[in-house]
Chain A
Amino acid sequence: MATATHHRAGRLTTLAYIFLLLSQNIAALLLLPLIITSAILTLLWIGLPFVILTGTLLRTLANSQRRTLHQLHPKNPLPSAYRPIPPTGITRRGATIITDPATWKDLLWLISGPANITLISLPLIPLLHGTYQLLFSLGLTTHPLYGTYTPGPIHQLLTLAPATLLLTLGYLLLPPTTNLYLRFNRLLLAPSEKARLTARVAHLATSRANTIDTQAAEIRRIERDLHDGAQARLVALGMNLGMAEHIVEQDPTTARTMLAEARETTRHALTELRDLVRGIHPPVLVERGLHGAVHALALTHHLPITVTINLPGRPADPVESAAYFAIAELLTNTAKHAHATHAWVHINHGHNRLVITVTDNGTGQATPTPGSGLAGIHRRLDAFDGTMNITSPPGGPTIVTLEIPCALSSPKTLPSSETD
């Protein structure tokens, strides 16, 4: 039996975790009156801020319990599935917390605190008493046992028997009670399938809205660029040509100047269109895929960049594009803010995920503040269920890891190679 339970965590480790669980449950007991108070106040319409406060506390506490349970049983993660609390609006935030079924499940867990404490105490009480009696019988404490039995050879010798008994009992009780506790709390804290799906839908709705917003903004930018740029230049070009045609017989010299101007205007229009195209979808990405495009990017960057790419095929177009722009943005950030002298880009694919690491040896402290490039990357990756992880301690280095779930097409276009 012991082995069955304990390939998860050693008995001593379990004991340590038991104390952690106990303290979390005691915290839960303390939170209970607060929650009841805020519930009553809400009936009087003044308790909503309290609900937000206690609701957030409850989530934090339940999550810390989830983490502890996960650590006790590492192979079995215990995710949370809360509806995200909106950033603003007291009523909206309060309502989100109250209407989230996960909140009510957490409350159930909170209320079962006394039962949980009892369950944990089952092995703890004999263990504590046993230790206490053992200390007494070994003469390590001079106080009378339970305030009654004064230390003496007979009392000490007699106590040895119950001490051993209690310690053995506690030792034997520890695995089954822990096991029972784990199962019981897992049941209470694991999100229901419905909650999981609800959370998923909420995430999809947010990321879809973000994607649409981003795209709409992009299209507006393109429209503006075309309207003020190439389109305007073509108008000027037409005017210049018309005028040149008009005066070519009377004043060939001026006509010639105008034609030269027209040529210059065309060149400007082309340059603008070229930059615009690069911003929409870089031609080199079309021609060479992520592999070639990242190499091309590295070649024109101001810092020396080491690129290592290990892709047995090509990701889908939208993923390639998102990955390319994310890398470009990260390298721009590096050049602008990091005071780095070298950067590294690693791209590989495994477990159905495209994994990109961009590292620099700069000064660190990169943070995704709202509106920053990093936040933009995060938003764009969200559309693919991608994640971004930033490690950037003061003093550097900065390591940004991007993961995008995606499959690769069959290897056909390019030899995937390492550059050096």
Chain B
Amino acid sequence: MRVVIAEDLALLRDGLIRLLQAHEFTVVAAVDNGPDLHTALTEHKPDVAVVDVRLPPTFTDEGLQAAIAARTHIPGLPILVLSQHVEQLYARELLSDDTGGVGYLLKDRVFDIGQFIEAVRRVADGGTAMDPAVISQLLARQDQSGPLAQLTPREREVLSEMAEGRSNSAIAGRLYITEKAVSKHINNIFTKLDLPPSSDDSRRVLAVLAYLNGQDTTNT
């Protein structure tokens, strides 16, 4: 699998290269600034890109901007954004084109190598990988009332696992329940939230994320 890496700190860049190479990824480009990232993404059209939000030359959200710009040129270009902090605002912007193949994780998630690699693969396959912190903020916001309050604690667990982007079998593995139980929970969730059922994993996740994002506020 061909991957582009954008990270300005050499220590972390080398770490990511080593990590991904050890898991059968081919690093086709490793860049350290925004303009180079843009070139690398449009030239190599990688299977997946792992991108730091903050990059030179402006040290603002250069990486995120380049990622979003590249995805408008090449719709669905799989990009996993890494950051030292998560912002709902950025998560929304990444999800706004509704095509999947996006990830947004805290840099700490790299520690859990198995899960991180799984997330990169998922994004490459057109799925999503949202940081648990993003999801828990979304859930915390609308706890007081509304359809989410009708979910059982177990269903809430399943919902947040699913919103992070996991497949049924991955959820089953993490919650120590059967896959059948997971799909039953998911059916219940979709009924309670009044969402159209979907067999396609990534469409389903996007629907849930859109639901969580759309309901919580009248705007921004």
Q: Does A92 lie at the interface of the complex (its beta carbon under 8 Å from any beta carbon of B)?
A: no
Q: Are A299 and B111 in contact (CB under 8 A)?
A: no
Range class of the A interface residue count: 20 to 34
Q: Which of B59, B61, B219 has the most CB of A within 10 A?
A: B219
Q: Which of B53, B59, B216, B217 has the most CB of A within 10 A?
A: B217
CA distance A307 to B89 in the complex (A): 13
Partner-binding segment picked from A174-182, A195-203, A243-251, A262-270: A262-270
Partner-binding segment picked from A79-87, A101-109, A219-227, A290-298: A290-298
Contacts of B60 in A (CB 8 A): 286-288, 413
Q: Are B59 and A420 in contact (CB under 8 A)?
A: no
Q: Are A267 and B217 in contact (CB under 8 A)?
A: no
Given A299-B92, A307-B219, answer yes or no on A284-B85 (Cβ-Cβ < 8 Å): yes
Q: Are B89 and A305 in contact (CB under 8 A)?
A: no
Given A283-B54, A287-B54, A288-B60, answer yes or no on A304-B89 (Cβ-Cβ < 8 Å): no
Q: Which of A270, A287, A306 has the most CB of B within 10 A?
A: A287
CA distance A300 to B138 in the complex (A): 8
CB-nearest residue of chain B relative to A282?
A: B85
CA distance A176 to B152 in the complex (A): 83
Q: Which of B53, B107, B111, B140 has the most CB of A within 10 A?
A: B111
Q: State how many residues of chain B have any CB contact under 8 Å with chain A.
A: 23
Contacts of B216 in A (CB 8 A): 299, 304
Contacts of A304 in B (CB 8 A): 216-218
Interface string of B43-79 (1 = CB under 8 A from A): 0000000000110000111000000000000000000
Contacts of A270 in B (CB 8 A): 84, 107-108
Given A274-B85, A278-B85, A299-B92, answer yes or no on A287-B53 (Cβ-Cβ < 8 Å): yes
Given A298-B220, A304-B217, A420-B219, answer yes or no on A284-B87 (Cβ-Cβ < 8 Å): yes
Interface of B is mostly: loop
CB-nearest residue of chain B relative to A413?
A: B60
CA distance A324 to B75 in the complex (A): 35
CA distance A340 to B137 in the complex (A): 20
Q: Which of B59, B87, B107 has the most CB of A within 10 A?
A: B87
Distance in Å from the Cβ of B15 to the closest Cβ of chain A? 13
CA distance A298 to B217 in the complex (A): 9
**9 nearest A-B residue pairs (beta carbon):** A299-B88, A287-B61, A296-B89, A287-B60, A420-B219, A419-B220, A295-B220, A296-B87, A304-B217
